[in-house]
Structure 1
Amino acid sequence: MQSSSTTHITALVKKDILLEMRQQFSLYGVLLYVAATIFVVYLINGQPESDTWNALFWVVQLFVCVNGVAKSFLQEQRGRMLYFYSIAGAKDFILAKLIFNAILMLVMNLLALGIFLVLLGNPLEHMATFIGISLMGGLGLSLVFTFLSAIAAKAQQSASLVAILGFPVIIPQLLLLARIAKIAFAPVIQSGLTQMLLLLVGFDALVVVLAIILFPFLWKD
């Protein structure tokens, strides 16, 4: 049973990766948005201070996630969903979506960070620490918006509903990420990093558990 579930999840993830590689418009569109936004900021303000750099980075990550990840369920047609319903279970399907969107967001996260460093300079004191925090933050954002995308799709609403539902949920997480990321800008790593990271991991785990529990009720509709 476990082997069959793993096979279904792997096949669904590969399907999404192949579709993304064939289309590529979403990835290129997000990269263009990130590059254009950062370039405009650079023209207006030059290379900002560390606090502004940090805040701008997470705002851009939010919009990247909304535009890149939130469409995952909205682009699935009803006929295709019926086919998935016949070959895989609800848990396998939602886990495959969570994994694929996590991979997609991690790639876009690294690309966006590279553009930031090229155009807006490098105010980081601990590069490896910030990369790890940004990857964890991107993972958390992708999990939240994947689940919200499933709700919006079943409600037959547009991607705007994802943003509306996600705003009160994602703001506390963004504030936590921005606070954690400040550690990477300080010459000395301050205490409390472990506790905040555990809080972030716990939040991500809660989203995954809720998705696994609640998605089967949406899946039946």
Structure 2
Amino acid sequence: MQRIAQLIKKDLIVDWRQQNPISGILLYLASTIFATYMAFKGFVSIEVWNALFWIILLFTSINAISKSFIQEERRSHYYFFLCKPGEIILAKLIYSFLYLLAIAAISLFVYAVLLGNPINNYSLFTLNLFLGCLGLSSAFTMVSSIAFRASNRSIMMAVLGFPVIIPVLILSISNSYKILDSYVFSQIQGNLTALFSVDVIIIALTFVLFPFTWKS
């Protein structure tokens, strides 16, 4: 656990020192939401509000997490002498999830200020957002760990990531729309369980595949 905590701390320090990626992500997030606000003149239906929120979060998460392993290219051999592959990928999963969760919170705040706030059940919406961010961060971390060895990383990210995130997106968007439409927990419990199960499967696949890709 101490090595995992140190790896998470290392990622935080690297991102803090290289502030250009963080600034770029925040600028991308703010400009996308503002462009959406200008296009719809500040008024959107619940369906459009829900769809646009997840689209913005999706593309922001791609930009935020795709760099996860690219910046580790020069350190990969050094890690062989310090950490096990399971420790490295667990630290990456935790950091990517917390990173995306922070981005989602900022996105939701700015989005609600400019385009209104139709959320009534904050606890249920937060739970679904939590599970959705877990699925997106885990999927893109897994894909990033595979694609960073390839020459065409952006193409590999798109090809490998698209089929993985489809079930996460479908369940997350469906759940959040039902929550905005005043559904209660008992009515979407099955969908939340399915979303959590997909997240667990993605994380399990990451732990299975990463040791092979890391040592190749």
Could you say which TM-score interval applies, normalised by the shorter chain? over 0.9
Matching residue of 1:124: 119
Matching residue of 1:52: 48
Superposed CA RMSD: 1.5
1:178 matched to 2:166: no
What is the distance in 1 between the residues matched to 2:189 and 2:168? Answer: 16
Give ranges in structure 1 of 5+ residues lacking alignment.
Answer: 1-5
What is the distance in 2 between the residues matched to 1:184 and 1:25? Answer: 36
Matching residue of 2:104: 109
1:75 equivalent among 71, 74, 94: 71
1:150-174: CA deviation from partner (whole Å, max 9, x where unpaired): 0001224323321221112212221
What is the distance in 1 between the residues matched to 2:214 and 2:185? Answer: 45
TM-score (norm: length of structure 1): 0.92
Offset, 1:56: 0.5
Offset, 1:7: 1.8
What is the distance in 2 between the residues matched to 1:11 and 1:135? Answer: 24
Moved more, 126-135 or 49-58: 126-135
What is the distance in 2 between the residues matched to 1:41 and 1:181? Answer: 19
What is the distance in 2 between the residues matched to 1:115 and 1:65? Answer: 16
Residue identity opposite 1:67 in structure 2: N
1:192 equivalent among 187, 205, 215: 187
Residue identity opposite 1:144 in structure 2: A
Residue identity opposite 2:196 in structure 1: V
Contact 2:147 2:156 in 1 (8 A): yes
Contact 1:152 1:161 in 2 (8 A): yes
Offset, 1:190: 6.5
Report the 3-state secondary structure (helix = DSSP H, G, I; strand = E; otherwise coil) of the residue aligned with 2:148: helix
Moved over 3 A (4+): none
What is the distance in 2 between the residues matched to 1:172 and 1:216? Answer: 25
What is the distance in 2 between the residues matched to 1:220 and 1:188? Answer: 47
Offset, 1:44: 1.6
Contact 1:66 1:163 in 2 (8 A): no
Contact 1:31 1:112 in 2 (8 A): no
Matching residue of 1:158: 153
1:185-211: CA deviation from partner (whole Å, max 9, x where unpaired): 123426432111111111111111111
Matching residue of 1:9: 4
TM-score (norm: length of structure 2): 0.94
Percent identity (aligned): 38
Q: How many residue pairs were aligned?
A: 215
* Residues 190 and 90 of structure 1, relative CA distance in 2, 3 Å threshold: closer
Report the 3-state secondary structure (helix = DSSP H, G, I; strand = E; otherwise coil) of the residue aligned with 1:77: helix
Matching residue of 2:137: 142
What is the distance in 1 between the residues matched to 2:107 and 2:68? Answer: 20
Contact 2:138 2:203 in 1 (8 A): yes
